[in-house]
Amino acid sequence: MANIMVVGSYVVDLMSRTPHMPKPGETVLGGPFQMGPGGKGSNQAVAAARQGANVTMVTKVGHDLFGDHAMENFTEESIDTTYVTRHTEEATGTAIITVDDQGENTIVVALGACGKITSTDVQGAEQRLEASDMVLVQLETSMDAIRTTIQLARKHNKPVILNPAPFQQIDDDLLQDVAYITPNETEASLLTGIEVVDESSARKAAKQLIERGVHAVVITLGKQGCFVYDGSDDGTLVKGFPVQAVDTTGAGDAFNGGLATFIAEGMKLAKAVIRANAVAAISVTKTGTAIAMPTMADVEEFLRNTK
């Protein structure tokens, strides 16, 4: 069983359907409303756990009802909460999500407690990080915590997957210690200054990231699939699976949680990406984020039926 440490956010998702996205000043009658666990870190942890990984979560929640729900959810998903702490002043984070009839979404995140994860918090989990097969981080927490996580992973020779979302600028000295970076088109464009819209532009962006020190690049291109590049050849476009999307929220988190698990299990990158694409494809056929993450059995059935 793969041992994965996830350092990242937990927020409560407050989601409502809407016939269309409101214009400035417009009120739209929507619904239904749904509340559930979310946050990029937590979503990715759930995705990994449901694919069979042994997951440890490093995050912060508040001393409030939402924080209680967070701890209950982690327990239900068999995620180790040894390093989930409760902030005495900040409330548990929230994400306000609207999803339109085409399955597209807008999200406003108030990080709250998980925005207060510190370097000290990460250092306190060093022993568990040393015992991990893979470390998974995003940019939805403080950069100090992210930097410390990557530095400790380098110290203990542990591979890091960096999902650079939501986007923040990343120093090249950090990129040099990242085994895998997984931007989408927008994030790849912002990271490199190259507008990424297709395979050709993705290749150019990926080559630049390799030159800056990253060991392997996986650029997610939505319905086009993923562009995978490790510097050894011209890279490969791994096609996605066509599905009827109901809610695309959390698709990237599903992909990253799956990818971390499959690589940590020893799978080659190209095969791991195919399976991670399947995890993401299944997730968008359901409403919600963490609750939409498929199980290992779901993925096996999906792959059997799509051959």
Detail the residues annotated as belonging to a binding site: 11-13, 39-43, 140, 184, 220-225, 247, 249, 252-253, 277, 283, 286, 288
Mean pLDDT value of segment 162-176: 93
Give the model's confidence band at 99: pLDDT under 50 very low, under 70 low, under 90 confident, else very high: confident
Question: pLDDT at position 109, please?
Answer: 86
Report the Cα 291 to chain-centroid distance in Å: 14
Question: Is the per-residue pLDDT at 102 higher than 90?
Answer: no
Identity (one letter) of the amino acid at 225?
Answer: G
- Residue 286 structure tokens: 């359901």
Classified as helix, coil or strand, 214 is coil
Res 223: pLDDT: 82
- The residues assigned a catalytic role are 253
Are the CB atoms for 218 and 165 separated by under 8 Å? no
User: What percent of the chain stands above pLDDT 70?
Assistant: 100
Place of tokens 């239900």: 76
Q: Is 194 helix (H, G, I), strand (E, B) or coil?
A: coil
Q: Which residues are annotated as a binding site for ATP?
A: 184, 220-225, 252-253, 277
pLDDT for 105: 83
Report residue 4 CA to chain centroid gap: 13
Length of the chain: 307
- Which amino acid, one-letter code, is at 261? T
Portion of the chain with pLDDT greater than 90, in percent:
82
- Let me know: does 163 contact 44? Beta carbons within 8 Å: yes
Q: Tell me what the pLDDT averaged over the chain comes to.
A: 94
50, 102, 283 from 244: Cα distances, Å: 22, 10, 11
The burial of 22, by beta-carbon neighbours within 10 Å (0-12 exposed, 13-18 middle, 19 or more buried), is given as: middle
Does residue 260 have a pLDDT over 80? yes
Of the candidates 176, 274, 183, 246, the residue with the CA atom closest to the CA atom of residue 220 = 183
Query: Greatest CA separation found in the chain?
Result: 53
User: What residue numbers does the annotated binding site for substrate cover?
Assistant: 11-13, 39-43, 140, 253
Dump pLDDT digits (tens) for 30-68.
Answer: 988 989 899 999 999 999 999 999 999 999 999 999 999
Q: So what's the pLDDT on residue 130?
A: 97
Binding residues for K(+): 247, 249, 283, 286, 288
Beta-bridge partners for 11: 38, 93
**pLDDT greater at residue 215 or residue 249:** 215
The domains located in the chain, with CATH, are 3-20+31-300 (3.40.1190.20)
Return the beta strands (E) in the chain as ranges: 3-7, 11-17, 33-38, 54-62, 80-87, 93-99, 105-110, 134-138, 160-163, 180-181, 216-220, 226-229, 236-238
Question: Which tokens sit at 305?
Answer: 């039926």
- Distances 223 to 56, 133, 245, 270, 284 between C-alpha atoms, Å: 31, 30, 10, 17, 12
Whose tokens are 């210690």? That residue is 177
23, amino acid identity: K
pTM for the whole structure: 0.92
